[in-house]
């Protein structure tokens, strides 16, 4: 079937009725505005014109009786019904009326969203402050509980896990810090701060297997940087893995022969490996 203006009007009015039934007044009004624009910009004759006007009148009846609509107009001290009416030839007048309603609703939604965003920011700040106070007073179980609840409450908040992980690391909670920082890296592989903090956490905890995994991830994500290889060589030295320490140090020194520390590791491990 051709997508005629009359068909598009009926479909938009049907969408408006559906969203009004769901309680989404703004979307309902928006779809009705779309229908009215088509009626104004197109030529609809005869039976089709009569049908779309019937559909429109049915929607207006639903609209004027809806509890949300009544509350909206009551807030404006308007109690006389019908709140919105239509007569043939008055499509522009109705569109203007609905346009004003839609503008009000969208502005209210924007203010609500902004308010919710500010409340979230305040909640995050307050919880971080509370958690930090508990960390400073060495009430570690309570601190961990507060900060864990925070990241669980706002799992999509950008940078929050990295921030919490950094605070846990500073407080000496290395395993807890590493765990949450790994989550941050998993969600955002380009979070270099989280990666650096996670490495520091596991280094402090002497969790060499975790460190090795993170260094290999860094090489894969950011490329084979000589300083990363040097840090890996230092890790392998602490881990007593002389062959790996030598290989990483050599690769680092071959790339950047200003890295004296890499040369020292090569010389030290060579004695152990080659006698």
Give per-residue pLDDT as tens, 86-109. Answer: 998 899 999 999 999 999 999 999
Chain segment 162-190, per-residue pLDDT in tens: 999 999 999 999 999 999 999 999 999 99
pLDDT at 43 over 90: no
Query: 121 or 2: whose pLDDT is higher?
Result: 121
Q: How confident is the model at residue 275 (pLDDT cuts 50, 70, 90)?
A: low
pLDDT at 74 over 90: yes
b/e burial code for range 147-183 (CB count within 10 A of at least 16 → b): beebbeebeeeeebbbbbbbbbbebebbebbbbbbbb
Average pLDDT over residues 213-231: 94
Average pLDDT over residues 237-242: 94
Residue 67 C-beta-side C-alpha neighbours within 13 Å: 3
pLDDT at 8 over 70: yes
71 CB-contact burial (10 Å; exposed 0-12 / middle 13-18 / buried 19+): exposed
The overall average pLDDT reported for the chain is: 94
pLDDT at 45 over 90: no
Whole-number pLDDT of residue 193: 96
Whole-number pLDDT of residue 274: 80
b/e burial code for range 103-128 (CB count within 10 A of at least 16 → b): eebeeeeeeeeeeeeeeeeeebeebb
pTM, two decimals, is 0.67
């Amino acid at each position: 079937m051709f997508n005629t203006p009359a068909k598009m009007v009926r479909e938009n009015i049907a969408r408006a009725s559906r969203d009004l039934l769901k309680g989404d007044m703004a979307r309902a009004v928006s779809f009705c505005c779309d229908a009215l624009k088509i009626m104004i910009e197109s030529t609809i004759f005869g039976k089709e014109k009569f049908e779309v006007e019937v559909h429109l009148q049915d929607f207006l009846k639903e609209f004027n009786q809806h509890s949300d609509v009544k509350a909206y107009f009551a807030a404006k001290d308007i109690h006389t019904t019908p709140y919105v009416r239509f007569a043939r030839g008055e499509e522009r007048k109705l569109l203007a009326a609905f346009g004003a309603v839609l503008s009000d609703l969208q502005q209210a939604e924007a203010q609500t969203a902004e308010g919710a965003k500010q409340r979230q920011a305040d909640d995050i700040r307050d919880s971080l402050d509370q958690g930090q106070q508990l960390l400073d007073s060495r009430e570690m179980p309570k601190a961990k509980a507060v900060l864990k609840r925070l990241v669980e409450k706002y799992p999509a908040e950008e940078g929050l896990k990295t921030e919490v992980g950094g605070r846990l690391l500073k407080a000496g909670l290395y395993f807890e810090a590493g765990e949450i920082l790994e989550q941050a890296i998993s969600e955002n592989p380009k979070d270099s701060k989280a990666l650096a903090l996670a490495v520091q956490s596991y280094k402090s905890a002497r969790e060499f297997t975790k460190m090795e995994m993170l260094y290999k991830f860094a090489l894969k994500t950011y490329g084979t940087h000589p300083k990363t290889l040097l840090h890996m060589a230092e890790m392998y030295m602490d881990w007593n893995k002389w062959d790996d320490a030598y290989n990483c140090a050599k690769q680092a020194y071959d790339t950047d022969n200003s890295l004296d520390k890499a040369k020292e590791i090569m010389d030290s491990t060579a004695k152990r490996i080659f006698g």
